[in-house]
């Protein structure tokens, strides 16, 4: 089988390409700049230079492809309206190409959370709907926070713990979430193409624990060999102010931090485990995932 992977140079996409190659799957990596994807070519992936915002550039990318992975999602800057329209346009271009070129299945990684207030989580759900309506059968893999050394969410947690002796504690620190290690998330994605029963349905995935974001900060501190930081309750700290605060005290850009923070007000927990039950995967606990990410970052 040949698989097409968009977002192949990203945090999840790069790991997925290598996982598929290790499983003997031929990989065509869709990249915007082939010159910046030499590592993927050296690993054995075929490069196809294209941009999902430009439909013509996608021509031929789905040829002789059994499964296509859609891992494109910008965090966005500027107005939410413009961001959402770009995401819709990109998803339509990809879905129509996949249908026209006979791709067998599309697999999309989106987010958990029912009825989110965040425009970015809403956009992810809308992307899934467009892919399902206009493309081949869709496997909609839904995850909460994905833990790994290059994850913006992980980097935010890590820098907050490392740089602050105490923390402001907005209301969103009490929101429940169900984080998953990046390698476990990639395992679900890689196996999805081999699971016929996952076509046309959601696959909600998460680690074995449900906890609050405040608890995650404490566990991050322990993974770094530090004491959990005292927290000062600030219930009226808005997502916008929270994002500016994070931008000041961490290396995470405030433009990226804002959509991350807005999403934290939505519970991101698995509500239907039946899709994940199709897979023989046992996700690792959060403490192990954080320790693995710390080790990888140090290396």
Q: What is the DSSP string of 11-54?
A: HHHHHHHHHHHHTT-EEEEEES-GGG-HHHHHHTPEEEE--TTS
Query: Taking 60 as the threshold, does the pLDDT of residue 207 lie above it?
Result: yes
Maximum average pLDDT range among 65-74, 119-128, 177-186: 177-186
Strand partners, 54: none
Query: Taking 60 as the threshold, does the pLDDT of residue 79 lie above it?
Result: no
pLDDT at 78: 44
The confidence band for 282, taking pLDDT boundaries of 50, 70 and 90, is very high
Q: How far is residue 6's CA from residue 29's CA, in Å, rounded to a whole number?
A: 6
The whole-model pTM stands at 0.91
DSSP three-state, residue 259: helix
Give tens-digit pLDDT for 225-258.
Answer: 988 878 777 766 666 666 666 666 666 665 666 6
- Token pair of 66 as six digits: 């059994």
């Amino acid at each position: 089988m040949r698989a097409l992977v968009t977002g192949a140079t990203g945090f999840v996409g790069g790991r997925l390409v290598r996982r598929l190659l290790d499983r003997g799957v031929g990989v065509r990596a869709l990249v915007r700049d082939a010159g910046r994807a030499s590592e993927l070519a050296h690993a054995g992936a075929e490069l196809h230079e294209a941009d999902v915002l430009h439909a013509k550039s996608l021509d031929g990318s789905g040829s002789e492809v059994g499964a296509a992975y859609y891992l494109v999602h910008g965090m966005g800057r500027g107005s939410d309206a413009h961001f959402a329209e770009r995401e819709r346009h990109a998803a339509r271009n990809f879905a129509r190409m996949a249908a026209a070129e006979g791709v067998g299945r599309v697999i999309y990684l989106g987010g958990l959370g029912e009825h989110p207030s965040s425009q970015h989580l809403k956009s992810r759900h809308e992307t899934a709907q467009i892919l399902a309506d206009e493309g081949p059968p869709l496997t909609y893999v839904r995850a909460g926070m994905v833990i790994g050394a290059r994850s913006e969410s992980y980097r935010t947690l890590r820098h907050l713990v490392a740089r602050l002796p105490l923390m402001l504690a907005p209301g969103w620190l009490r929101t429940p979430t169900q984080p998953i290690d990046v390698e476990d998330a990639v395992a679900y994605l890689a196996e999805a193409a081999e699971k016929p029963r996952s076509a046309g349905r959601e696959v909600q995935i998460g680690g074995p624990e449900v906890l609050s974001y405040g608890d995650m900060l404490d566990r991050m501190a322990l993974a770094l060999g530090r004491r959990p930081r005292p927290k000062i309750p600030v219930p009226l700290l808005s997502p916008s102010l929270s994002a500016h605060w994070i931008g000041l005290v961490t290396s995470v850009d405030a433009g990226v931090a804002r959509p991350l923070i807005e999403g934290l007000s939505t519970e991101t927990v698995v509500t239907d485990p039946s899709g994940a039950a199709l897979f023989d995967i046992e996700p690792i606990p959060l403490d192990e995932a954080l320790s693995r990410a710390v080790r990888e970052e140090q290396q």
